[in-house]
Structure 1
Amino acid sequence: MRLSGCVLLVAWLLIGCDPNTVYKEYTDIEDGKWYIKNAPSFTFEIKDATVPYNIYYNLRNNLSYGYFNLYLTRYLRDANGKEIESRLDELILLDPKTGKPNGDGLGDLFDHKFLMKRNYRFPKPGQYTMQIRQYMRQDPLLNIQSVGITVEKAN
């Protein structure tokens, strides 16, 4: 009985792990109040620069979030801190007409995964840092619970 339970747990863990995921990390936003000065950074290692990668925003918001969208500015830097690119992106969290939340919900929390870059090729192997800053005109921006990124090898 114990052995079968362990086998099931190991099988579940293996199925739950995506072999293409190179990096996945979240930063919690304290009290759901995202201040403009709070710009979470995510540092990850790219070992193979010959393959393309998909990069995603990960976001968790409370249903009480006051807008249908979210503007974010992202900054990608190399290991020396040199900015490779920066860009303003708009993420649509709720349907603007119906107010129905996008993403996966549990209670009043909704998780989102938005494609940031498709088939991106890093210039060379090494460490990279992605910094994300909220770019709404409200400071603090309320009811954002966490923000993060996922880096995956593209299929």
Structure 2
Amino acid sequence: MKQLSLLMVTLLLVLSCDTNAVYKEYTDIDDGKWYIKNAPTFTFEIKDASIPYNIYYNLRNSLSYGYYNLYLTRYLRDADGKEIESRLDELILMDPKTGRPNGDGLGDLFDHKFLMKRDYRFPKPGKYTMQIKQYMRQDPLLNIQSVGITVEKAISTN
């Protein structure tokens, strides 16, 4: 039985590895209360600007989250702090009609990975910062446990 448990843990670790990920980070939201003034920031380095990248939102919410969607504003800045892009995105966390949660769930918590940018080419190698703000009418926004980003090398289909 002990060997089976060890095998399952090892298998989970292998399957959960993002081989194309160059950056993956989460910020926990204190007590599941996301205040508008709390804007998590993620700084990552791009070493090869000649290839495209996919960038994802990572989000964890509890089933008690009061809406089917979540509006976020993202800000991408270069190493000098110059804003390259800002945009408002809507993430659909639950089916609007049935209330059935999207994402991967375990108990009361659901993890989501939403594509933010596909095949994005960074202007040059260097450090970049992504800042994320919640853009809902409620402050604080309740039952959001963590938010983050993943930056992956885009997989070529050629």
TM-score relative to the length of structure 2:
0.90
Q: Name the structure 2 match of 1:100.
A: 100
Asked whether 1:47 is paired with 2:50, we answer no
Asked whether 1:17 is paired with 2:17, we answer yes
Asked whether 1:28 is paired with 2:17, we answer no
Q: Name the structure 1 match of 2:136.
A: 136
Give deviations 1:76-118, integer Å, cap 9, x for gaps: 0000000000000000000000000000000010000000000
SS at match of 1:105: strand
The sequence identity of aligned pairs, in percent, is 83
Q: What CA distance in whole angstroms lies between the structure 1 residues aligned with 2:133 and 2:54?
A: 20
Q: What CA distance in whole angstroms lies between the structure 2 residues aligned with 1:122 and 1:24?
A: 17
Q: What CA distance in whole angstroms lies between the structure 2 residues aligned with 1:77 and 1:62?
A: 30
SS at match of 2:31: helix
Q: What CA distance in whole angstroms lies between the structure 1 residues aligned with 2:6 and 2:136?
A: 47
Q: Name the structure 1 match of 2:124.
A: 124
CA change 1:13–1:145 in 2 (3 A) is closer
What are the ranges of 5 or more consecutive residues in structure 1 without an aligned counterpart?
Answer: none
TM-score relative to the length of structure 1:
0.92
Q: What CA distance in whole angstroms lies between the structure 2 residues aligned with 1:12 and 1:29?
A: 25
Measure how far apart 1:14 and its partner are.
Answer: 4.8
Q: What CA distance in whole angstroms lies between the structure 2 residues aligned with 1:66 and 1:10?
A: 36
Measure how far apart 1:18 and its partner are.
Answer: 2.3
Q: Name the structure 2 match of 1:79.
A: 79
Give deviations 1:102-145, integer Å, cap 9, x for gaps: 00000010000000000000000000000000000100000000
Q: What CA distance in whole angstroms lies between the structure 2 residues aligned with 1:60 and 1:82?
A: 29
CA change 1:6–1:86 in 2 (3 A) is same
SS at match of 1:31: helix
CA change 1:7–1:104 in 2 (3 A) is closer
What are the ranges of 5 or more consecutive residues in structure 2 without an aligned counterpart?
Answer: none
Give deviations 1:19-51, integer Å, cap 9, x for gaps: 210000000000000000000000000000000
Measure how far apart 1:11 and its partner are.
Answer: 7.3
Q: Which stretch of the first structure deviates more once superposed, 56-65 or 15-24?
A: 15-24
Measure how far apart 1:17 and its partner are.
Answer: 2.3
1:76 partner letter: L
2:98 partner letter: T
Measure how far apart 1:12 and its partner are.
Answer: 6.3
Q: What CA distance in whole angstroms lies between the structure 1 residues aligned with 2:25 and 2:148?
A: 5
Measure how far apart 1:16 and its partner are.
Answer: 3.7
1:61 partner letter: N
